[in-house]
Amino acid sequence: MKINESMTDRIVRVVLGIVLLVLGWGGIVTGTLGVIFKWLGFIPLITGIVGFCPLYALFKIRTNRA
């Protein structure tokens, strides 16, 4: 598995994932949207930590320099 995200892209994803998780699990956003944030926050967090985005691979997008 190759890294297909730039460092800036990874930082933005990790921050976005943390924000979504805090909003959902922290009880700031409740109801259906809160549940969506709880689970949706893991996707950018994990892809940012790992550095690989399956959708980028599918569409042959790279934000890092080869």
Could you read off the pLDDT of 11-54 as tens digits, one per residue? 999 999 999 999 999 999 999 999 999 999 999 999 999 999 99
Cβ neighbours of 3 (radius 10 Å) = 14
What is the structure's pLDDT at 58? 95
pTM score, whole prediction:
0.90
Q: Is the pLDDT of residue 65 over 90?
A: no
| Structural domain boundaries, residue 41 | 7-58
63 located within any domain: no
Residue 8 has, within 13 A of its CA and on its CB side, a CA count of: 4
Instruction: Using only the alpha carbons of the chain, give its radius of gyration.
Output: 13
13 located within any domain: yes
30 located within any domain: yes
Q: Is the pLDDT of residue 66 over 80?
A: no
What is the structure's pLDDT at 2? 87
From residue 59, alpha-carbon distances to 22, 23, 30 in Å are: 30, 30, 34
Domain count, the chain: 1
1 located within any domain: no
